[in-house]
Chains A and B, each alone.
Chain A
Amino acid sequence: EAQVTQNPRYLITVTGKKLTVTCSQNMNHEYMSWYRQDPGLGLRQIYYSMNVEVTDKGDVPEGYKVSRKEKRNFPLILESPSPNQTSLYFCASSFRPAQRSDTQYFGPGTRLTVL
């Protein structure tokens, strides 16, 4: 089944404890992206990657890191999480971003709480 998977789905952690949220897609998509969703703000892009070893900042990159060593994986790293990073996180991927109708497909989401 074609899908984007994220792990963990739920995570409660404490301030300053490094964590990684994994994202994997099995559709051979070139493009991958991370978003956070907060009430009243919709989804905001954190980082994106156009292909392997190519990453770039989105609208809200502060406090996050990413890497794209393999085409299928795009982990999100919080080196020192803070309470304002409590949010619902989505990973998304798409086949060919240069194509206008290219559609992003989303993972199931990761609900992160930082105490």
Chain B
Amino acid sequence: AQKITQTQPGMFVQEKEAVTLDCTYDTSDQSYGLFWYKQPSSGEMIFLIYQGSYDEQNATEGRYSLNFQKARKSANLVISASQLGDSAMYFCAMREYETSGSRLTFGEGTQLTVNP
């Protein structure tokens, strides 16, 4: 079974609007972490935001927030006030601290296009 599922291969959003990128995960660990990375067309991987399974509040970093719904095993990334520079591939990833320790497992990614 896929451990990280990103069901949206491509998403489009108008500049200045908010967009939600979906991520669902599968783990039997009680202790795990969820990460989002951005990959612009230049290819580098840029860390955006982290959510721990025991964190009581949803993580936020500037325009990025993570909508963490533990019971539904979802960790959706919300980008507010989209900018043209947000056009990129976005990856959701998970660390399972009990079973896999340091390993990061990635989803297939979502290509976001911000239209002017």
> Which A residues are closer than 8 A to B by beta carbons?
31, 33, 35, 40-45, 48, 50, 58-59, 88, 90, 92, 94, 97, 100-109, 111
Contact = CB atoms under 8 A, between A and B. Distances in A.
A42 B47 contact: no
Contacts of A106: 37, 44-46
Provide the main secondary structure of the chain A interface.
strand
19 contacts: A42-B4, A42-B106, A42-B108, A42-B109, A43-B91, A43-B93, A45-B103, A45-B105, A50-B102, A94-B102, A100-B31, A100-B95, A101-B33, A103-B35, A103-B50, A104-B47, A104-B104, A109-B43, A109-B44
Provide the main secondary structure of the chain B interface.
strand
A105 B35 CA distance: 12
A62 to B, nearest CB: 17
Interface residues of B, number: 25
B91 A42 contact: yes
Interface of B: 4, 31, 33, 35, 37, 43-47, 50, 52, 91, 93, 95, 97, 101-109
B45 A90 contact: yes
Contact of B106 (A43, A97, A100): A43
Greatest chain A CB density within 10 A among B37, B103, B104 is at B104
Contacts of B95: 100
A92 B91 CA distance: 15
Greatest chain A CB density within 10 A among B46, B52, B106 is at B106
Given A41-B108, A42-B108, A100-B33, A58 B103 contact: yes
Contacts of A45: 103-105
Contacts of B31: 100
Nearest to A41: B108
B97 A108 contact: no
